[in-house]
A and B are shown apart, each in its own frame.
Chain A
Amino acid sequence: MPNLRIASRYAKSLVDLATEKGALENVYADMQFLKAVTGASKDFVNLLRSPVIKADKKQAIINAVVNGKTGEITTAFIKLLINKGREADLPEIIAAFIDQYNAVKGIHIVQLTTAVEVDDTIKQRLVSQLKADTGFTKVELQSKVNPDLIGGFVLEYNNNLIDASILRDLKDIKKQFSTNLFVHNIR
């Protein structure tokens, strides 16, 4: 189970420090870069989690991977993580940092899943409707395509879910029929 408590604590310290030094945007960019790295290479995450590999070796590998592409604060932060033996939690810490960054900036991440690719005008209409309904000012829309939905869309934000997909409707109908109230009467 991911250790969310540790992730949020490290992320908070990083957000606080970056804000204090006025380098929040730079650190955010670094985190996006690290997120891309961890997301792209499963081997890299496995390496971080491996208890067999020594700390100095991990440090060397991270240095080689990152190769001076990150700022001063981020480099120091990674060093701290390795010193504390928490490098295994890096992916969760990155996610927690991005969440906290969004919270600071008032950005709401909205995940839109559709069965087929939709064009920007529809997305814009969705976003403006959502803004009107919820009072969000900044919305970052992430869209995904999942053909299993058959039709309709699924909108997800802040642990809220609007499921208007055909898949969901079919599931609900299936459930309705699975509790067959009438078999008894027929028999």
Chain B
Amino acid sequence: MVEIKPDEISAILRQQLSNFNASADLEEVGTVLQVGDGIARVYGLNNVRSGELVEFENGTAAIALNLEEDNVGVVLMGESTGIKEGDKVRRTGKIASIKVGEGLVGRVINTLGEPIDGKGHITGELYEMPIERKAPGVIYREPVKEPLQTGIKAIDAMIPVGRGQRELVIGDRQTGKTAICIDTIINQKEFFDAGKPVYCIYVAIGQKASTIAGVMKTLSDNGAMAYTTIVAASAADPAPQQFYAPFAGAAIGEYFRDTGRPALIIYDDLSKQAVAYREVSLLLRRPPGREAYPGDVFYLHSRLLERAAKIINNDAVAKNMNDLPESIKHLVKGGGSLTALPIIETQAGDVSAYIPTNVISITDGQIFLEGNLFNAGIRPAINVGISVSRVGGNAQIKSMKKVAGTLKLDQALYREMEAFSKFGGDLDAATKLVLDKGARNVEILKQPQYTPFSVERQVAIIYLGTQGLLREVAVKKVKAFEDHFLLEMTNKLPDVLAEFKKGNLPDDGVKKMVELAKSLIPQYK
């Protein structure tokens, strides 16, 4: 424990007292008419604006959402206990915002930006970022062209994600949606170690606090907390905190994006956020629509996901970006990006429900996870046929693009023929070839949790798969062969791997690699 001198304490007290303003200002107030279920109706507050932060006598913050003829509907960001009818409500003149800075990295915070990991206050300089902010306009963006490596072979090869893209992860419960996103965060360690970190934000909405603690432990065990912030609104937090949590996360992501750095945000999950929003909307007596969601639930998600963007790599243009908060204007740089991986949980594989269709149409593609693939031992349980990435193709590095170009179609064809071949009977040679290759590719694309693959290793093994060089290897031994082969590659041909990483596919390097593979194959027949 640090020694404390008495004068240090009094200095602290004096500092705190000096911040205190004893003069009384004119305040605009209203009176609580009704309070309960996390919302309050307030009479007065004549000039309050929509989305403005108001404050109750006991210090609880609230956001004005409904401005009606004779009252204002506000949602409480804290507990409603201690607020009673007739209490005064003050306008603050501020829009709801959170304080963001470098100090947030490695921390767990709630929707209001308060730390909840018991590691004390957030250090360093903090900048006020509005929770609701308009997405950058067209001229401040540029097309997605840089890859965001997820470290998952099936995704990086067939459904590549680019920086600034919004890629939906959708599937039933217990199909590995969160696992994919956590692996993606862990894979960014490579870039953190190289000094070019991709800042990650994991937004947990309506989850069990124990699950969030588990995620945090996984991330710190894998050294990923060094560049990650967790925004947690657990199931026990008030509904408004739950539906504002993704917006708070986006505000943190925007800080990194607008200061010229890449960021990755994971919304886990938006179906729960929509449910929290529905709850608040119904309590505010907004008219219910399909599945009782309010009419603006599409806009809720579209304006959130639109904030993911790749900013133009030109500081002068980026500095003029629309709706920049005053606090970070002097820090703005171009070339940053915010990649979003929203998660949607479906019920019994029903993608035609309201929220899944909405989010599918908003995002730039989806990764579809299936329970029966998961149970068949194909993990990650990605259904290649209906998973797409609409813009990520441009973002793949050249070597991967060349190697994996046909993989997606091959696998789709294999799935079709596999179902057909189950009827038995004789198969012609061509079909047999497709089946053999497909079965081995499926083995290659299997990957255990928390083991991200660097892109050059992915290129090496997928090359062997797509070229049909593994025909001789027994299906059951493909995994063992892969481990052995990649080990030998890193030991014997590191220069070839380095070329792959740069995006090149040199003929002599490939030749050496194929020879190495061929020398190993006899052990795995």
Please give me the residue from chain B that is nearest to A154 by CB atom.
Answer: B24
Q: Are B16 and A184 in contact (CB under 8 A)?
A: no
| Given A1-B33, A162-B27, A187-B1: A172 and B120 interface contact (C-beta under 8 Å) | no
| A62-116 residues at the B interface, CB under 8 angstroms | none
Q: Are B120 and A184 in contact (CB under 8 A)?
A: yes
Which residues of A does B touch, CB under 8 Å? 1-2, 4-5, 8, 152, 156, 158-164, 168-169, 172-173, 175-177, 181-187
Q: How far is the CA of A184 from the CA of B45 in the complex (A)?
A: 38
| Given A5-B69, A169-B22, A176-B16: A161 and B2 interface contact (C-beta under 8 Å) | no
| Given A160-B29, A184-B120: A177 and B24 interface contact (C-beta under 8 Å) | no
| Given A173-B20, A175-B59: A161 and B27 interface contact (C-beta under 8 Å) | yes
* Chain B residues near A185 (CB-CB < 8 A): 2, 120
Which among B2, B17, B22, B69 has the greatest number of chain A C-beta atoms within 10 A? B22
Q: How far is the CA of A46 from the CA of B432 in the complex (A)?
A: 87
Q: Are B70 and A4 in contact (CB under 8 A)?
A: yes
Q: Are B24 and A168 in contact (CB under 8 A)?
A: yes
Q: Are A184 and B26 in contact (CB under 8 A)?
A: no
Known: A1-B33, A161-B29, A184-B120. 12 other contacts (CB 8 A): A5-B69, A161-B88, A162-B24, A163-B24, A164-B23, A176-B16, A176-B19, A184-B119, A185-B120, A186-B1, A186-B4, A187-B1
CB of B28 closer than 8 Å to a CB of A: yes
| B1-56 residues at the A interface, CB under 8 angstroms | 1-2, 4, 12, 16-17, 19-30, 33-34, 41, 43-46
Which among A159, A162, A182, A186 has the greatest number of chain B C-beta atoms within 10 A? A159
Q: How far is the CB of B449 from chain A (nearest CB, A)?
A: 35
Q: Are A163 and B27 in contact (CB under 8 A)?
A: yes
* Chain A residues near B1 (CB-CB < 8 A): 186-187
Please give me the residue from chain B that is nearest to A173 by CB atom.
Answer: B20
CB of B71 closer than 8 Å to a CB of A: yes
Q: How far is the CA of A97 from the CA of B246 in the complex (A)?
A: 46
- Which 7 pairs across A and B sit closest by C-beta, in order of nearness? A184-B120, A164-B24, A159-B44, A4-B70, A1-B34, A161-B29, A161-B27
CB of B121 closer than 8 Å to a CB of A: yes
Q: How far is the CA of A183 from the CA of B12 in the complex (A)?
A: 11
Q: How far is the CA of A158 from the CA of B119 in the complex (A)?
A: 45
